[in-house]
Amino acid sequence: MKIALLGCGVVGSGVKEILDASEQNVKITKILVKDKNEIREARMTTNIQEILNSDVDVIVECIGGIDIPFQYIRQALQHKKHVVSSNKKVLATHYKELVNMAKKNGVILAFEASVGGGIPWLENIRHIKRIDHISTFEGIFNGTTNYILDKMTSKGVDFQIALQEAQNLGYAESNPIDDIDGHDVKYKCCLTANVIWDTSLPLEEILFFGIRNTKKKDIIYATQKNAVLKLTGRAVKVDKRIQILVIPAFLSSQENMAHLPKNLNYGKIKSEYLGESCYIGQGAGKYPTAHAVVQDILSILEKRKLSPEISKEFSIERDYVSHFYIRSQRVSSLQNFVSDILDEETVLTKNVNLLELLPYIDKDTFIAEIRL
Amino acid sequence: MKIALLGCGVVGSGVKEILDASEQNVKITKILVKDKNEIREARMTTNIQEILNSDVDVIVECIGGIDIPFQYIRQALQHKKHVVSSNKKVLATHYKELVNMAKKNGVILAFEASVGGGIPWLENIRHIKRIDHISTFEGIFNGTTNYILDKMTSKGVDFQIALQEAQNLGYAESNPIDDIDGHDVKYKCCLTANVIWDTSLPLEEILFFGIRNTKKKDIIYATQKNAVLKLTGRAVKVDKRIQILVIPAFLSSQENMAHLPKNLNYGKIKSEYLGESCYIGQGAGKYPTAHAVVQDILSILEKRKLSPEISKEFSIERDYVSHFYIRSQRVSSLQNFVSDILDEETVLTKNVNLLELLPYIDKDTFIAEIRL
């Protein structure tokens, strides 16, 4: 089977290393690079058309960014090439179009590396789904923010210092908005829900909150309560609706998920026959991501049923009733919802519907669910 | 595809329920029962020959016991039937013969349900192995003993009371020797190692210790050290040798594995590209086990590469150097190894080779590794 790599950066070079060393019947015959002076091997080119019109069977997109990968993935599918991508943003945003396009062209669209690539996460979901009915999933799907919160907890450092450390270690991008504001987890939860429930959820309707405004005092509160602050994502299917939410949460230290260290990812599934099953592994990084990409390639080679279905419609349920911790300059306006006042800017709410709190949440607010 | 069930007890009836309700192209056409008066459906029989000579493609062994299932599995393979079994004792004991017999007859021998069936464990190992090199695994592979130790820790009850509770809940057999003395974990570690490293380890050479002699004071010691006592199994590949050991261990509460609650199972793998990946789920029970059996059946239907290989030889490395906690009536004879004396019957050892301690360990000794 012949493979084309689009992009040979961190992930691409990992895929190249693994496949070039592999004894499987899989060879990289084309590599797209951005610039003529990056060409070092005969199989490298700067011309996407040359790749689209070649005899490659699979096109692996590891360019990064949005518009160009989206274009290339579409073109690849139209040229009846199987596509493997780790680009969660492109996939979650254009899910319906891309999945349908793959189906129409009789090729596979695979994206194991897009969510918890080092776990493996979507692979286990597909496996369990063959037999079982999954009712809910939850987890910690962003290693960067887990690293930041873990450092803030274990070392008592400020958010900015922990973020800087994550950047120095290559965990966080120089522009970390996607990670710290919860977009990344939103994409991943959307893709996970789509795969589990054979659907295509409207990404823009998913409620999400990040950890950008986390302060030392929030961590101290967690410690006092024998809890741990984590950025969680989850979804539950209730009849024809899916309740899906990305939010920081104070988890009881009794919960296994509370003990996830470093930049790892954690995913938990509830299904009818298995009950709860949990998966922990690297969510990113050169080799874990490249491993997941190569798994997709081998599964295509083995003709496994990888392609997702979009056969069901669900509406997104935005109601979510729980207790929340809120730190804001506008706490006085929250008085109807308050059960405890921690200090002049921090309150705990009664059991309330998150939708009722939305009007009071601005860009400087820190909000977290209390699960104790 | 036509399936025969041997046995229709707890697991068998679960498999029957799942398959009878399934829309897959898989039908149970024969069911072996022990006694004529158990026959309630036309497809039930007490005659194994009738099944062996029928047109079934897969024979699912869920009888329990040793000699009869071993005979039936051999006969099934000789009749060129694929075999699915959850019988870890038979499989670990007769691994080489059965795997070779399956290969010779061109059929598949599958046993997902035999180790951490509700995780899925062996499936993830096979998946990772397609690309990656696994260097080590460890875990908690017995739900009954995890339940007992968890109860002793959380409720402060004695071993016998916790065991009785586990028996009342159906977690422990009326004869719990296999669980509490570590045999069950030994079988599972042996099978796991065999699958990971394409080998067939000599079961009888594996060192194993159980939790039968655990007392309240051992649990109190754990709590004082901010540790948790668990029955662990693990193996590491070092060149042409495999170090494999089943032993209770005091785990630091920093370790994720220390927080495994109830009767769950936990498995962790280290591999070159993925680093560490962990899997948590039910290790036993009607539906989790039946789910794993049905997964094997579907994988046979999809012609996946399920059959294990025996292509490499390893010797078992029995040397194991660590710190140990020992409670024994003969502690005085251990004086050369002691670093701390906790009381008249309990000592902590220096960093010593477990082999040197063996002569001093009798059936009343409690020994645990200290991993703090």
Question: Which pLDDT tens digit goes with each residue over A4-46?
Answer: 999 999 999 999 999 999 888 999 999 999 999 999 999 999 9
Domain contains B285: no
Residue B233 counted as domain residue: no
Which tokens hold the place of B19? 């398959």
**pLDDT range class, residue B175, cuts 50, 70, 90:** confident
Q: B175 in a domain, yes or no?
A: no
Find out whether A328 and A365 touch, Cβ atoms under 8 Å.
Answer: yes
pLDDT score of A256 more than 90: no
Q: Percentage helix, strand, coil, to 5, in chain B?
A: 40, 25, 35
Using the predicted structure, report yes or no on whether residue B7 has a pLDDT greater than 90: yes
Q: Is residue A67 part of a domain?
A: yes
Q: In the predicted model, is pLDDT for residue A254 greater than 90?
A: no
Identify the domain boundary among A114, A143, A167. A114
Whether the pLDDT of residue A190 is over 90: the answer is yes
Tell me, what's the pLDDT at A175? 85
Q: How far is A205 from chain B (nearest CA, A)?
A: 32
For B85-118, write each residue's pLDDT tens digit: 999 999 999 999 999 999 999 999 999 999 998 8
* Among candidates A256, A277, A288 on the partner chain, residue whose Cβ is nearest the Cβ of B274: A288
Q: What pLDDT is recorded for position A174? A: 79
B370: in domain: yes
pLDDT of residue A284: 85
Let me know: does B72 contact B63? Beta carbons within 8 Å: yes
Q: Which residues of B touch A278 (CB under 8 A)?
A: 278-281
**Which neighbouring-strand residues pair with A340?**
A348
**Tens-digit pLDDT profile for residues B337-372:** 999 999 999 999 999 999 999 999 999 999 999 999
The residues of B that are catalytic are 188
Chain B residues whose CB is inside 8 A of the A272 CB are 287
Residue A355's domain comprises 319-372
Which amino acids of A are annotated catalytic?
188
Counted domains in chain B: 2
pLDDT of A187 > 90? The answer is: yes
Share of chain A above pLDDT 70, in %: 100
| Last residue in a domain, options A61, A79, A114 | A114
Percent of residues, chain A, with pLDDT higher than 90: 94
CB contact under 8 A, B282 and A277: yes
Contact A273 B281 (CB under 8 A): no
Q: What is the pLDDT of residue B371?
A: 96
Q: What is the CATH number of the domain that holds B104?
A: 3.40.50.720
Burial class (CB in 10 A: 0-12, 13-18, 19+), A97: middle
Residue of chain A nearest B18, judged by CA positions? A131
Mean pLDDT, rounded, for B19-44:
95
Q: Is this complex scored with an ipTM above 0.90?
A: yes
Strands A275-282, A264-271: parallel, antiparallel or unpaired by DSSP? antiparallel
User: pLDDT averaged over chain A?
Assistant: 96
pLDDT at residue A23 in the model: 86
Kindly report the average pLDDT of chain B as a whole number.
96
pLDDT digits (tens, 9 = 90+) for B202-256: 999 999 999 999 999 999 999 999 999 999 999 999 999 999 999 999 999 888 8
Q: Is residue A225 part of a domain?
A: no
Q: Identify whether A243 is part of a domain.
A: no
The C-alpha atoms of residue A342 and residue A221 are separated, in whole angstroms, by 9
DSSP category for residue B284 = S
Which residues of A sit within 8 Å Cβ distance of B? 14, 18, 22, 118-120, 123-124, 127-128, 130-132, 254, 256, 259-261, 264, 272-282, 285, 287-288, 290-291, 294-295, 298, 302, 304-305
**pLDDT-based confidence at residue B24 (cuts at 50, 70, 90):** confident
Task: Find out whether B369 and B323 touch, Cβ atoms under 8 Å.
Answer: yes
Residue B50 lies in a domain: yes
How close is the nearest chain B Cα to the Cα of A218, in Å?
22
- Predicted pLDDT of residue A370: 98
A295: nearest CB among B127, B254, B276: B127
Q: What is the 3-state secondary structure (H, E, C) of A296-364?
A: HHHHHHCCCCCCCCCCCCCEEECCCEECEEEECCCHHHHHHHEEEEEECCEEEECCEEHHHHHHHCCCC
How far CA A220 is from CA of A364, B222, B254, in Å, comes to 19, 27, 19
Q: Which of A114, A144, A177 is the last residue of a domain?
A: A114
